[in-house]
Chains A and B, each alone.
Chain A
């Protein structure tokens, strides 16, 4: 069975502009650009949840926006349900959108302040179904019920809702057309800790009931562990490791993954752990190191790390991009 979503060699560069940049270009011949995504390949099977982790600025959200073509990728291919998305015309793409939805990071900014809950949730139905007014109304209530909100909220405006309710409305909008793939772009990072667990559990329930596939983007490893079957780790625009969740958490192989996992606090004061600490800061995505992107920060770096490195399968379904593994 071919995967539901297949991304191959996706690249997104934001070229820099300005006089200084132009002069630089003349000298160096390589047009400078922010290399937000630099050759990402991944696949998600129908019904599966892939977790995508990485620190701020590593390109997670850019990747999400490229998948939905909210921004146009520079190169690479995205196949959804065996249809190439990157070359799809505007109208076919628009119709495809009912199958690929997204829940955004900021529950407040992603709701139109002048739309009532009803209008927000009915919007996708208006665009993708033949339902009449009464039908849409009924369906909106049903969807709202699914995300645990009562019909009494239908005529409220976003500023009359709590943060958790807002994110539920966002989820309701995303699932209204029963999409096959939902991209969750850090859906809980703007919420209180107490609300996070509930939203994550809701997302889990919805997946079971509606048979949806998730790409779950987060920098919160605990929630990723709970929700995802496989995890991909992203660093500076590339995927450095990809493995089934339990495998990744038990046997992380890439030094970056090991550093990430060893940074999770353990609620046991006597626990002694081996900490892998990276040196310095994340390099600028304008000036990425040649070879392995981690080599200047990696405590294990060797001369060989200056050579280009690609993902390879070291164990069944366990892919790592490191010379030393």
Chain B
């Protein structure tokens, strides 16, 4: 019961963040990118709820606008990784043999690198445009989905309905993608939710070290990086609130993913 409350809270948090991101132009009290020379480094107060940064930009507005960037990049990366992983994993699992060997060794190669180092390498090499950040995160996430889909495919391809689909006269591609792949999805949905959290964390981390989203575009990690140098001089709000935004969002995705897993795993496996 308490677990349920917590996951509902987390789900609420995710929906709120998404809502705020979508409604950013209406919700944000100030222009996120407009410097105000007379309002620099204001502590949180009535005029600026979350304070202002060194250029006098309103922190609340910047955090709300940044939610758009972080969520969009994470979502795009997850979608890209999921699509690629589904195709690769489904082919590897269903066909087996050489296709399987090639795909799995490719995936192993990606997994041999620590995910964050790999993402850093890719953005450093390809240049840190937003699209490159998306691709870099997608590449590091492809192995998760490929392996998961492959193992699910190994299970469902032995089911009699896979044979039945062949008997009826379906082509292989149709069997894989229309008949079998949908039956592999429940654990993948869980994984995608968890991976969304990781993707947000990676965007923020990349931006924190200057390899991700570039200023003046507001982004949580970049904002936290800007604020980091002001902690010692006492301007704690510049760092704290973007950091909290990252933490709450990632935590919420993880909690929701976890309870989805509990929900889907033991009882409902294979049930539509």
List 26 A-B pairs, Cβ < 8 Å: A68-B167, A70-B166, A94-B169, A94-B171, A95-B169, A97-B167, A101-B167, A101-B168, A102-B167, A104-B160, A104-B163, A104-B164, A105-B160, A109-B160, A110-B159, A110-B160, A112-B164, A112-B183, A114-B182, A114-B183, A123-B168, A123-B170, A128-B169, A159-B272, A170-B164, A173-B168
Residues of A at under 8 Å CB distance from B?
65, 68, 70, 94-95, 97-98, 101-102, 104-106, 109-115, 123-124, 127-128, 157, 159, 170, 173
B166: A residues at CB distance < 8 A = 70
Residue of B nearest to A158 (CB): B272
Query: In the docked arrangement, what's the CA distance between A241 and B170, Å?
Result: 36
* Smallest beta-carbon distance A89→chain B, Å: 13
* In the A-B complex, the 8 residue pairs with the closest CB atoms: A97-B169, A110-B160, A109-B160, A112-B161, A124-B168, A127-B169, A104-B160, A114-B182
* Smallest beta-carbon distance B183→chain A, Å: 6
Residue pair A97, B168 in contact (C-beta under 8 Å): yes
Query: In the docked arrangement, what's the CA distance between A174 and B182, Å?
Result: 23
Residue of B nearest to A70 (CB): B163
A65: B residues at CB distance < 8 A = 163
Q: Interface majority SS on B: helix, strand, loop or mixed?
A: helix
* Smallest beta-carbon distance B84→chain A, Å: 22
Interface size on B, residues (CB 8 A): 18
Find A114's partner among B164, B168, B170, B272 (CB 8 Å cutoff).
B272
Query: In the docked arrangement, what's the CA distance between A157 and B161, Å?
Result: 14
Q: Mark B169-197, 1 if CB is under 8 A from A, else 0.
A: 11100000001001100000000000000
* Smallest beta-carbon distance A147→chain B, Å: 16
Query: In the docked arrangement, what's the CA distance between A112 and B163, Å?
Result: 11
* Smallest beta-carbon distance B56→chain A, Å: 55
Chain A CB within 8 A of B96 CB: no
B12: A residues at CB distance < 8 A = none
A127: B residues at CB distance < 8 A = 168-170
A123 in contact with B165 given A104-B160, A106-B160 (CB within 8 Å)? yes
